[in-house]
Amino acid sequence: MPFPSLHPDLARALQEQSYAEPTPVQAAVLQPDALDRDLLVSAQTGSGKTVAYGLALASTLLEEGAHFRATGEPQALVVAPTRELALQVHREMGWLYAHTGARVVSCVGGMDIRREQRALHQGADIVVGTPGRLRDHLERGNLETGQLRAVVLDEADEMLDLGFREDLEFLLDAAPADRRTLLFSATLPKDIVGLAKRYQRDAFRIATSVQNQAHGDIEYRAIRIAPNDVEHAVVNVLRHADSRAAMVFCATREAVRGLHGKLLERGFAAVALSGELSQNERTHALQALRDGRARVCVATDVAARGIDLPDLGLVIHTDIPKGRETFQHRSGRTGRAGRKGVSVLLVPHTRRRQAERLLDAVGVDAAWMAPPSAEEIRARDQERLMADIATGEELSEEDRAAVRALVAGRSPEEIAAALVRLYRAALPAPEDMLDGGAPDPQGEPKARNRGPEDTVWFRMNIGRAQNADPRWLLPLICRRGHVTKRDIGAIRIFDRETRFEIARHLADQFTAAIRRPVEEDGNVRIEPARDDAPEATGPAKRPRAFAKPRSGGTDEAGGPARPGKPPRAGAPFKATEQQPGDQKPREHRGKRPAVGRRAAFAATKPERG
């Protein structure tokens, strides 16, 4: 469907940019019912919203002629959450209104405020900026709002998430009451609806994206991993996908720095984005992604807001997003403008239910799978190599001379081997993801040929009730204890705990390693087993060290047992002279014996006559 009747200068600009037909949101804002009205629009990220509200403003800002009114003051204000998005909007509005004579000025944090001040004083028709910087100019008297005819809030939900509510309300209160207010958002939570009711008048509702429905151009995958295998999973997913540009999301700045360093160490062309970077550093990082010098961006949620990378084909979530909106905004970095993308959620076994609830809330039917193995990645490399050879360019005479020289001096097998080595040398090596191997019918790995005198038993506080499985227990043990699979013997899974063997010569080293705190393992606790090894055969039963002792009995160390509770970890109870079953003398019942200073005071107190 072609664009409807447009202002001639806007139609000319769209034609120069090869816009043949409108996207759904662009067509919706141009329908007659939306003309000159306040708009409340929910549309997916990357659906062409910037051009949409640029077209929607035309009926308000442009007269029948081709140029803006010569008022000298801004007639439209566009507010965006981040510097990158504001600068992108500035560029889009610039080419869209290039033939109308409009002056488009940007005001964003991190830029030279004096240059922005001069541009505003020279006259601006459309002002694009971030909430904080626009408010700063308004308070300084640099920005005049008396002639504003329209205000646009772009990515309004993100601005509220970032804490800009006060700045937005300040800007909206300063604008004339009869202005148009256009509110664009990927999602419409309660805060956005409340903001719309307060500042909009009879707003026309447009919804081109259905709430709780997945983005149609994004393929969602949920990959099961062990809690400590996040870095290895990121490496293998990046290698398997081989996307021209990928974005990896982390929850904190520290996680961004750590993962960025690990990817650089493995040979990935990666950049990092977090709130601590200067504007110049952010600009260089984004430019490296756009021109292909970098292919992976590791970022926090806040730092990645408003980033638009046309070739971004892969998004990886290293943690479970805290909310539905965060997941949608992260995933929405890919699958933009009709392009296909992939969103991968890494799910530790301890967080599976949390991930399932999130995916259900978003309306995503994700494909659950294991992480790509090293063998699968090498097979994909072979396929890509063959495809690259098949689509090679036509050889020049210089190339043919080099080929003849190679064939004369080496066999075809030697030349092909050298080509394969050169091809693989440029690729980061895939990681061998630890696997528990094929379980036996009882769901436990087969015991290794070690005698009981060669191993020491340890326990962890998870069992069948927590869906314990050798396929992720074994990698967890290796990571936590800094051992390899060959150092682990039998693994016995019981209802509420798991017992396993460690080679005796590594027992002290293993014990020291497991005492270090590890947050990503959740509540999984590993400690030495305090009793004998469990039976190798027969049904799993509760270990006797943790069975309920009888009231009044003694523990295995000879001390009095606490009814209904296991012995306290640490030093064993000491035996006392009082025998089990003895009762306190009658005269001491109900009285608390004097101890410490009370006892000393009682000894010196004179008796009453």
Confidence class for position 391, pLDDT limits 50, 70, 90: low
- pLDDT at residue 39 is higher than 90: yes
> Does one domain contain both 24 and 165?
yes
- Can you give the pLDDT at residue 461? 92
> Does one domain contain both 366 and 468?
no
> Does one domain contain both 97 and 222?
no
> Does one domain contain both 296 and 156?
no
Domain boundary among 496, 512, 534: 534
Q: What are phi and psi of 291, to 5 degrees?
A: -95, 5
- Can you give the pLDDT at residue 448? 47
User: Measured between alpha carbons, how far is 606 from 609 in angstroms, rounded to an integer?
Assistant: 9
- Can you give the pLDDT at residue 522? 64
Question: Does residue 165 lie within any of the structural domains?
Answer: yes
- pLDDT at residue 118 is higher than 50: yes
> Does one domain contain both 284 and 167?
no
> Does one domain contain both 64 and 164?
yes
- pLDDT at residue 303 is higher than 80: no
What range defines the domain where residue 290 resides? 218-373
| Span 162-211, pLDDT tens digits | 788 899 999 999 999 999 999 998 777 788 888 899 999 989 999 876 55
Average pLDDT over residues 268-287: 85
Confidence class for position 70, pLDDT limits 50, 70, 90: low
- pLDDT at residue 521 is higher than 70: no
User: Measured between alpha carbons, how far is 345 from 366 in angstroms, rounded to an integer?
Assistant: 9
Query: What average pLDDT does the structure give for the chain?
Result: 79
State the CATH number of the domain containing residue 494. 3.30.70.330
The region of weakest confidence among 54-63, 328-337, 443-452 is 443-452
Q: Measured in whole angstroms, how far is the alpha carbon of residue 332 from the centre of its chain?
A: 12
- pLDDT at residue 562 is higher than 70: no
| Span 490-506, pLDDT tens digits | 999 999 999 999 999 88
Closest CA to 208 of 229, 192, 184, 191: 184
Question: Does residue 35 lie within any of the structural domains?
Answer: yes
Average pLDDT over residues 452-472: 86
Neighbours of 492 (CB within 10 A): 22
- pLDDT at residue 582 is higher than 60: no
Phi/psi-derived region of residue 232, left when phi > 0, alpha when psi is between -120 and 50, beta in every other case: alpha
Q: What are phi and psi of 454, to 5 degrees?
A: -95, -5
Phi/psi-derived region of residue 410, left when phi > 0, alpha when psi is between -120 and 50, beta in every other case: beta
The region of weakest confidence among 213-217, 335-339, 576-580 is 576-580
Question: Does residue 153 lie within any of the structural domains?
Answer: yes
DSSP-assigned beta bridge partners for residue 456:
502
- pLDDT at residue 276 is higher than 90: no
Question: Does residue 545 lie within any of the structural domains?
Answer: no
Q: What are phi and psi of 2, to 5 degrees?
A: -75, 170
Q: Which residue has the higher pLDDT, 94 or 562?
A: 94
> Does one domain contain both 277 and 184?
no
Q: Give the residue ranges of DSSP H helices in 297-396.
A: 324-331, 352-362, 374-390
- pLDDT at residue 334 is higher than 80: yes
- Can you give the pLDDT at residue 53? 93
E strand residue ranges, 195-351: 204-207, 218-225, 245-249, 270-273, 296-299, 312-317, 341-348
Question: Does residue 196 lie within any of the structural domains?
Answer: yes
- Can you give the pLDDT at residue 181? 95
Domain boundary among 504, 534, 564: 534
Question: Does residue 469 lie within any of the structural domains?
Answer: yes
Confidence class for position 67, pLDDT limits 50, 70, 90: low
- Can you give the pLDDT at residue 557? 37
Question: Does residue 3 lie within any of the structural domains?
Answer: no
Closest CA to 443 of 400, 498, 482: 498
Residues above pLDDT 90, as percent of the chain? 33
Question: Does residue 54 lie within any of the structural domains?
Answer: yes
> Does one domain contain both 243 and 324?
yes
* b/e burial code for range 297-319 (CB count within 10 A of at least 16 → b): bbbbbebbbbbbbeebbbbbbbb
Average pLDDT over residues 210-230: 75
State the CATH number of the domain containing residue 240. 3.40.50.300
Average pLDDT over residues 377-394: 80
- Can you give the pLDDT at residue 446? 42
CA dihedral 587, 589, 595, 600 (to 10 degrees): -20
Q: Which residue has the higher pLDDT, 424 or 180?
A: 180
Residues above pLDDT 70, as percent of the chain? 78
> Does one domain contain both 226 and 203?
no
> Does one domain contain both 202 and 333?
no
- Can you give the pLDDT at residue 105? 94
The region of weakest confidence among 30-44, 227-241, 511-525 is 511-525
> Does one domain contain both 472 and 360?
no
Q: Which residue has the higher pLDDT, 498 or 303?
A: 498
| Span 585-606, pLDDT tens digits | 444 444 444 444 444 444 444 4
> Does one domain contain both 229 and 90?
no
- pLDDT at residue 236 is higher than 90: yes
Confidence class for position 69, pLDDT limits 50, 70, 90: low
Q: Which residue has the higher pLDDT, 115 or 543?
A: 115
- Can you give the pLDDT at residue 598? 46
Average pLDDT over residues 93-113: 90
Average pLDDT over residues 509-525: 78
User: Measured between alpha carbons, how far is 486 from 448 in angstroms, rounded to an integer?
Assistant: 9
Number of domains in the chain: 3
Contact predicate 170/206, CB 8 Å:
no
Domain boundary among 173, 207, 241: 207
